[in-house]
Amino acid sequence: MSPMKNSVFSQKIYSFLLDTYRWYLQTPERSLNQAYDAALKIKEIENKHFNGNKIDTDSAMYSNSVMDYFESDLKKLLKTVRMRLTELKASRWFLNEENKKAAEKAGIEYLSPSLVLEKLNFIDQVISKYTTLSDQRSSKALVVQPPNLAVNPVISDDKSLLVNNPTLPPKIPTQDWEKRPKGKVDTTGVLPRSILSTITRLQVELDPNSEQEVIQSFRQAQRRTIISIRFILLLIIVPLLTHQIAKAFVIGPVVEEFKNTEEMQIFLNSEMEEEALEELQRFEEKLHFENFIKNAPPLLPEQIEVEMKKRAVELAEEFRHESSNAIKNVFADILSVGAFIWLLLVSKSSIAVIKDFFDRIVYGLSDSAKAFIIILFTDIFVGFHSPHGWEVLLEGVSRHWGLPANRDFIFLFIATFPVILDTIFKYWIFRYLNRISPSAVATYRNMNE
């Protein structure tokens, strides 16, 4: 290896080691900022959905599915806060005065002591609502000794600043979020549940505030229903509008601009060409048939050739338009799928609401209605006559995209996919429906027999 290459390689190694060392020196500040961002997200959820109060599973504002969604986010954010604070404490332990001087020489700027204390104070205020007494004891050392952010000697020398700071919020002993009370399914009482539920119902009926609670519950259900129906309509309308608008105003003009009507391929596949030839042959036979019916003199070859040429030009224009339309459909469908996925990604809360909406509808049906719907869907998609429907559907999709309808692929798909779908249906009935509603399964079996 030449001396020049050795020099370049050594510079790259030195640059990599320097960047790694700078990353190591900035670990305390980076950990604090990540913990602060997670605390901000928790506070945003509290302000936006819980009127600034604690995210509580006993809240009557939302359904169980929505609360499970908020609980999942809260657990992730709390885990991030605790991990980053632990990382902050560990990084401060390994940094010394030499590291601080090296950071100052490298030109690394750090947060001011007041800003550090402000962020720690905010984090403490947010997570104290979800911290038990044991968590407080484990994090006591971190609260008493403020983070140094690796380099600022002013903060490290004044350890009594946080201890004597009256603005720090006290730790509030609250119930751990992960220790949720058990539901009815998880508990076994001394008395039957029907008796307990009857007593509870009588207490509710005798409660003078029960009317307000019923009205509030009805308003919440009404709001969830409106959100669900609106979201379902959006899932249908937005992809359709995206397809039509993109095809008419974006993709269509581009395809029409770049295509050459004289040189553009008329047929995208052999099936289109065969269809055009069959159509032209039927037209020739139609000419002879009409001539025989009218008892007219036989057509001259020149007349037949002229009529055939006109029809061939018309067929070429029709199939050229169909080929162009298939190309537009491919790109328009891609944009429609993108719009659908984007709508799902930005509407996570609406998805939780719509899931609860469908759960209430399905579980509110009678056993015979559940069995009827299951039999209807299974017979349509995996029943005896379903292969014909799948064949028509696949041929329509192939024609929509201008692809040749491969008969081998269609038959292979029909031979495998409905079988897989039928297995999934049976597993769902055995695994979930049999546990949730055994009477519906019994009704389904009786109706299916």
- What pTM was computed for the model? 0.52
Are residue 297 and residue 385 in the same domain, yes or no? no
Are residue 140 and residue 58 in the same domain, yes or no? yes
Q: Check: CB of residue 347 under 8 Å from CB of residue 270.
A: no
In a domain, 176, yes or no: no
In a domain, 115, yes or no: yes
Q: What is the pLDDT of residue 96?
A: 55
Are residue 314 and residue 440 in the same domain, yes or no? no
- Judge residue 336's burial from the number of C-beta atoms within 10 Å of its C-beta, 0-12 exposed, 13-18 middle, 19 or more buried: buried
- For the residues 170-193, what does the mean pLDDT come to? 45
Are residue 23 and residue 155 in the same domain, yes or no? yes
- Judge residue 79's burial from the number of C-beta atoms within 10 Å of its C-beta, 0-12 exposed, 13-18 middle, 19 or more buried: exposed
Residue from 176, 169, 168, 171 nearest 132 by CA = 176
Tell me how many degrees the CA angle 73-78-79 measures, rounded to the nearest 5.
Answer: 100
- For the residues 148-156, what does the mean pLDDT come to? 40
Q: Check: CB of residue 154 under 8 Å from CB of residue 140.
A: no
Q: Which of the four pLDDT bands, split at 50, 70 and 90, describes residue 335?
A: very high
- Single out the residue in 143, 163, 183 at which a domain terminates: 163
Q: Check: CB of residue 131 under 8 Å from CB of residue 170.
A: no
In a domain, 59, yes or no: yes
Q: What is the pLDDT of residue 332?
A: 92
Are residue 328 and residue 374 in the same domain, yes or no? no
- pLDDT tens-digit readout, 89-129: 777 666 655 555 555 555 565 556 778 788 888 888 888 88
Distance (Å, rounded) from C-alpha 305 to C-alpha 292? 18
Q: What is the pLDDT of residue 102?
A: 58
Are residue 138 and residue 106 in the same domain, yes or no? yes
- Single out the residue in 348, 376, 396 at which a domain terminates: 348
Backbone φ and ψ for 261, nearest 5 degrees, come out as -60, -20
Distance (Å, rounded) from C-alpha 61 to C-alpha 192? 29
- pLDDT tens-digit readout, 59-96: 656 777 777 788 888 888 888 888 888 877 777 666 65
Are residue 282 and residue 420 in the same domain, yes or no? no
pLDDT value at 406 more than 50: yes
- For the residues 385-395, what does the mean pLDDT come to? 87
In a domain, 7, yes or no: no
The residue to which tokens 């159509």 are assigned: 279
In a domain, 328, yes or no: yes
Q: Which of 54-58, 239-243, 254-258 has the highest mean pLDDT?
A: 239-243
Residue 312: which domain range? 238-348
Are residue 146 and residue 106 in the same domain, yes or no? yes
In a domain, 356, yes or no: no
Are residue 47 and residue 131 in the same domain, yes or no? yes
Are residue 334 and residue 413 in the same domain, yes or no? no
Tokens representing residue 195 in the block: 């008796």
Q: Which amino acid is at 440?
A: A
Residue from 118, 137, 135, 138 nearest 127 by CA = 135
pLDDT value at 187 more than 70: no
pLDDT, greater one: 148 or 47? 47
In a domain, 225, yes or no: no
- Single out the residue in 112, 147, 163 at which a domain terminates: 163
Average pLDDT for the chain: 76
- Judge residue 347's burial from the number of C-beta atoms within 10 Å of its C-beta, 0-12 exposed, 13-18 middle, 19 or more buried: middle
Q: What is the pLDDT of residue 134?
A: 41
Are residue 156 and residue 102 in the same domain, yes or no? yes
In a domain, 226, yes or no: no
Number of domains the chain contains? 3
- For the residues 24-28, what does the mean pLDDT come to? 73
pLDDT value at 150 more than 50: no
pLDDT value at 300 more than 70: yes
Q: What is the pLDDT of residue 291?
A: 81
The dihedral formed by the CA atoms of 292, 295, 299 and 304, expressed in degrees to the nearest 10? -50
Are residue 245 and residue 295 in the same domain, yes or no? yes
Tokens representing residue 363 in the block: 């579980």
